[in-house]
Chain A
């Protein structure tokens, strides 16, 4: 799908002249500079670039985990810069699902409990939560492993649990930060198949950061970053 086709649909993400810098020992360290970006709802976009190019920072800004130094970040109709910390947390819970490179599952919880975590913040009763969890784990093919803890699962299975956790609240945006970075080839393929399936079947917007060109091929659109600038 072409870039033009993507943006013809209403954008779910809109960044206008966004810069991000960190300050260390009185020095300004720019990480992103004057980024303008629109991502259409329902697209699957991958960002690539060398280490330190600003990929993860861009992902953090889009997902509301960080705030820009300058510019405006609008996601799902909200100007994230105007939201308070609490509002931002609430917004993330409702709109964003996260998939991390190292899965970030809570080790003391079972697969089902990890998936249930985001639902604890939603106005659902226990039975409804259980139904959602079962559906999400079924979707990623892990129904038989619901009571297993992360240490009892392979890397690929853990990442599938993380995917189930990301989709269980039915968010508009799925953020995947190097989702295959810690997996072997087979596990990586399974995860990428699953992301593609989610994108196709559920029309979820997926924003992925990856070093792996093979993984990036699965996206509709690939954008490159270098030295904090979007190419």
Chain B
């Protein structure tokens, strides 16, 4: 036997309690991962933002369009190397919310030169480029509706009245798992040509790529100055800031979710702390016996901390193993009832945070019982009846 084996055997003193504590910790970790993932879904747009990409939108409101004629003027600004534009279409296949999916018009000629995180087979790309009403669907979206290349999708729209039929020409994937694959993109030309005169030649936002991210602020100021006194003033900001403006709309919800997530950790702290305190109380005589035999304060403290560490690690393992199936089940149920909720993946940082939080909380919970065990008066401890 070694000191490590002694610690391990000591763990199995009350296996039922240990199992229940590990399960409770696992469920806590699962809840934490779940809530953190919900938060990360909101921030997933930030994960794919590029420091050299800027969004040019209407200064008045994100819903206000900008003239198509701005394209040439913006790309003439020194430092701008690439430009594209896009806009929210907002079409629906039916009135039911289950059918909802995000759909956009884009400038096909330039879009993928700016957003190179979307990838599709070359033949599909070529077919998409060649057909103005050809659409590129994300992999998740295509799977959801079982769309194949060549399928036709008809959308109705209140902003752009009438029925709009698009042909699926390509199915894209993301370069990384965080990339949203629930989008539907078709050519601006397809709708612009059919619009009434007064709605024609306006786009939602421009996205530009600058040659030097360090000069982003300077380029942005130059663009905004150019249109400051026009009927359509602009606001140019980093892609990150642009995404943050969407997230800010849900800040109250996100704060509440964060509070609940950290509340879960606090509950874990109390559950594990209570278990460890109970264990130390129950084995006071044994700890005193070990001290009498010559074990030092640090040895008995280590026994308690090893127990808390094992609870933290085992709880994290249970929670992290359960998280992917539980989360994908949740996404499926929510998607069926309320429509798609974007690409939901448990990110590496979320795994790391959950593992760290579980182990950290367990060790923190073990600190006080470990100190108590270490400070135990041997003679007094031996007097206690087991």
Write the residues of chain A forming the contact surface with B, with a CB cutoff of 8 angstroms.
Answer: 56-57, 60, 63, 65-66, 85-86, 89-90, 92-94, 98, 100, 102, 104, 106-109, 113, 116-118, 120-121, 126, 129, 165
Residues A120 and B12 in contact, CB atoms below 8 Å apart: no
Please report the C-alpha to C-alpha distance between residue A42 and residue B289 in the assembled complex, in whole angstroms: 25
Residues A65 and B292 in contact, CB atoms below 8 Å apart: yes
B17 to chain A, nearest CB (A): 13
Q: Which of B10, B294, B382, B383 contacts A118 (CB 8 A)?
A: B294
Interface of A is mostly: helix
Query: Which residues from chain A contact B378 at a C-beta distance below 8 Å?
Result: 65-66
Q: Which of B10, B285, B292, B294 contacts A90 (CB 8 A)?
A: B294
Residues A98 and B293 in contact, CB atoms below 8 Å apart: yes
Kindly identify, within residues 263 to 291 of chain B, every residue whose CB is under 8 Å from any CB belonging to chain A: 285-286, 289-291
Residues A63 and B292 in contact, CB atoms below 8 Å apart: yes
Residues B12 and A108 in contact, CB atoms below 8 Å apart: yes
For the complex, is B158 an interface residue (Cβ under 8 Å from A)? Answer: no
Please report the C-alpha to C-alpha distance between residue A185 and residue B289 in the assembled complex, in whole angstroms: 26
Question: Taking CB as reference atom, which chain B residue is nearest A105?
Answer: B289
Can you name 26 A-B residue pairings with CB atoms under 8 Å?
Answer: A60-B379, A63-B292, A65-B379, A66-B378, A85-B296, A86-B297, A89-B291, A89-B297, A92-B292, A92-B294, A93-B293, A94-B294, A98-B293, A102-B386, A106-B289, A106-B290, A107-B286, A108-B9, A109-B1, A117-B290, A118-B294, A120-B1, A120-B2, A121-B293, A121-B295, A126-B2
Contact status of A104 and B286, CB under 8 A, knowing A113-B9, A120-B6: yes
For the complex, is B122 an interface residue (Cβ under 8 Å from A)? Answer: no
B358 to chain A, nearest CB (A): 25
For the complex, is B3 an interface residue (Cβ under 8 Å from A)? Answer: yes
Query: Which residues from chain A contact B297 at a C-beta distance below 8 Å?
Result: 85-86, 89
For the complex, is B13 an interface residue (Cβ under 8 Å from A)? Answer: yes
Contact mask for chain B residues 1-33; partner A; CB cutoff 8 A; 1 contact, 0 none:
111001001101100000000000000000000
Q: Which of A56, A107, A116 contacts B1 (CB 8 A)?
A: A116
Q: Which of A92, A100, A113 contacts B382 (CB 8 A)?
A: A100
Query: Which residues from chain A contact B291 at a C-beta distance below 8 Å?
Result: 89
Residues A89 and B296 in contact, CB atoms below 8 Å apart: yes
Question: Taking CB as reference atom, which chain A residue is nearest B15?
Answer: A108
Residues B10 and A89 in contact, CB atoms below 8 Å apart: no
Query: Which residues from chain A contact B290 at a C-beta distance below 8 Å?
Result: 106, 117
Interface of B is mostly: helix
Please report the C-alpha to C-alpha distance between residue A102 and residue B296 in the assembled complex, in whole angstroms: 22
Question: Taking CB as reference atom, which chain B residue is nearest A118?
Answer: B293
Question: Taking CB as reference atom, which chain A residue is nearest B9?
Answer: A108
A207 to chain B, nearest CB (A): 14
Residues A86 and B296 in contact, CB atoms below 8 Å apart: yes
Please report the C-alpha to C-alpha distance between residue A89 and residue B378 in the assembled complex, in whole angstroms: 10
Query: Which residues from chain B contact A60 at a C-beta distance below 8 Å?
Result: 379
Residues A104 and B382 in contact, CB atoms below 8 Å apart: yes
A97 to chain B, nearest CB (A): 9
Question: Taking CB as reference atom, which chain A residue is nearest B297?
Answer: A85
Contact status of A106 and B1, CB under 8 A, knowing A60-B379, A92-B293: no
Contact status of A98 and B3, CB under 8 A, knowing A106-B286, A109-B9, A113-B9: no
Q: Which of B1, B285, B294 contacts A121 (CB 8 A)?
A: B294
Known: A65-B378, A98-B293. 14 other contacts (CB 8 A): A92-B294, A93-B294, A93-B295, A98-B289, A100-B289, A102-B385, A104-B285, A104-B289, A108-B12, A113-B1, A116-B1, A120-B2, A129-B1, A165-B293
B283 to chain A, nearest CB (A): 9
Query: Which residues from chain A contact B296 at a C-beta distance below 8 Å?
Result: 85-86, 89-90
Contact status of A89 and B295, CB under 8 A, knowing A66-B379, A108-B13: yes
Please report the C-alpha to C-alpha distance between residue A14 and residue B385 in the assembled complex, in whole angstroms: 31
Please report the C-alpha to C-alpha distance between residue A93 and residue B294 in the assembled complex, in whole angstroms: 4
Please report the C-alpha to C-alpha distance between residue A160 and residue B291 in the assembled complex, in whole angstroms: 20
Please report the C-alpha to C-alpha distance between residue A82 and residue B12 in the assembled complex, in whole angstroms: 38
Please report the C-alpha to C-alpha distance between residue A129 and residue B3 in the assembled complex, in whole angstroms: 13
Query: Which residues from chain B contact A63 at a C-beta distance below 8 Å?
Result: 292
B71 to chain A, nearest CB (A): 75
Of A63, A65, A93, A107, the most chain B CB neighbours within 10 A belong to A65
Question: Taking CB as reference atom, which chain A residue is nearest B2?
Answer: A120
Of B9, B294, B379, B383, the most chain A CB neighbours within 10 A belong to B294
Query: Which residues from chain A contact B9 at a C-beta distance below 8 Å?
Result: 108-109, 113
B157 to chain A, nearest CB (A): 70
Query: Which residues from chain B contact A94 at a C-beta distance below 8 Å?
Result: 294
Q: Which of B286, B292, B383 contacts A98 (CB 8 A)?
A: B292
Kindly identify, within residues 327 to 386 of chain B, every residue whose CB is under 8 Å from any CB belonging to chain A: 378-379, 382-383, 385-386
Report the 10 A-B pairs with minimum CB-CB distance, sorted nearest first.
A93-B294, A104-B289, A60-B379, A66-B379, A65-B379, A65-B378, A92-B294, A118-B293, A108-B9, A89-B296
Query: Which residues from chain A contact B383 at a C-beta distance below 8 Å?
Result: 56
